[in-house]
Amino acid sequence: MNTFEISPFRLEEDSWLILDQTRLPGSEVYLRPETKEDIWYAINTLQVRGAPAIGIAAAYGLWLSIRDFSESTEEFAKTLQAAKDYLVTARPTAVNLSWALERMWNVWQKAQPDDIQKSKDLLFAEAKKIYDEDVAACKSMGEYGLSLLKPGMGILTHCNAGALATSKYGTCLAPIHLGQERGYNFHVFSDETRPLLQGARLTCWELQKSGVDVTLICDNMAASAMKQGKIDAVVVGCDRMAANGDGANKIGTSGVAVLAKEYGIPFYMYVPTSTIDLSTPTGADIHIEERNGEEIHKLWYAEDMAPAGIKTWNPAFDVTDAKYITAVITEKGIVRPPYTENLPKVFK
């Protein structure tokens, strides 16, 4: 498969189909959301996941909320506001969700067309613009990221920050895809990423489709792989980066970063500027989503693998301290410490 045909979305005229990632790798099923409730459910249940993809889906969901609106222009703003407030509750950690919704709202508020159809057209165009900008941003991150890697490297990744988590290309997997096209012959080690197995189900599926040499490992095998010299670099995505460079990503990422520091391996975090939240001072200020504990001991098992009544704790993300991040790769360039000083520069 052409690498860049992989995408969680399929655009058909005025409809967007969403690839149900909960069904991968077993089957490729595209959903046709018809309401904002469909989008909320898709985001909340991880049918669509990954910070950039969540933002794109939310933008499309906001348009869906008024697609069939036919009442007065006075009621339009109330309906749009209510939909925005509703959609932002789907998941709390990824900043792209609120970023995309606020962007859509602000574009409409600034223009405030005097015709309902013009408002609808404006919002649909903005959602498509968010999608197109992400395609370009991911391609740019791939080019910058590839400049940090050498042919033949062993690369460890955690979770899925690939084409499935974005519009196309991916964030941290973009240089892997580009390198595959250019004969870099990377060998990727993919952490399974418990408890939802995004590394096993999604990253391995995606990289296999692209022809990348990929090996699946359990999360607790990363230290052994590093110690044996199999890993030359770590690449991961990010769901929200604070102003000081602390980055929230899928649970388990911070442990990988600590290990990489211990073994002298560069740890690269790929962060679109839409995911950098300068209004959040540090990682301690990032709200971490906690999910149903049954994901740990029931979701993938024919029979419950833990004793009945067991207590669980299931945070979806953890925060990697800035001191463990070798460099932050954005679509505007590579950012190195001190992040408090250098992250704001990418917005100038």
- Spot the catalytic one: 239, 246, 277, 318: 239
Strand-pairing partners, residue 17, are: 10
What CA–CA distances, in Å, run from 188 to 61, 67, 223? 35, 43, 15
Phi, psi of 213 (to 5 degrees): -75, 105
Measured CA to CA, the distance from residue 156 to residue 179 in angstroms comes to: 15
CA atoms within 13 A on the CB side of 300: 14
Angle at 56 between CA 37 and CA 252, to 5 degrees: 95
Helix (H, G, I), strand (E, B) or coil at 61: helix
Measured CA to CA, the distance from residue 280 to residue 286 in angstroms comes to: 7
Cis peptide before 8 (omega within 30 of 0): no
Q: Assess contact for 194 and 216: CB atoms under 8 A.
A: no
For 279-312, b/e burial (b = at least 16 CB within 10 A) is: ebeebeebebeebeeebbbbeeeeeeeeeeeeee
CA atoms within 13 A on the CB side of 263: 22
Q: What is the CA radius of gyration of the chain?
A: 20
Measured CA to CA, the distance from residue 334 to residue 96 in angstroms comes to: 20
Query: Which burial class, exposed, middle or buried, applies to 315 when counting CB atoms under 10 A from its CB (0-12, 13-18, 19+)?
Result: exposed
Phi, psi of 246 (to 5 degrees): -65, 135
Any catalytic annotation for residue 239? yes
Q: What residues act catalytically?
A: 239
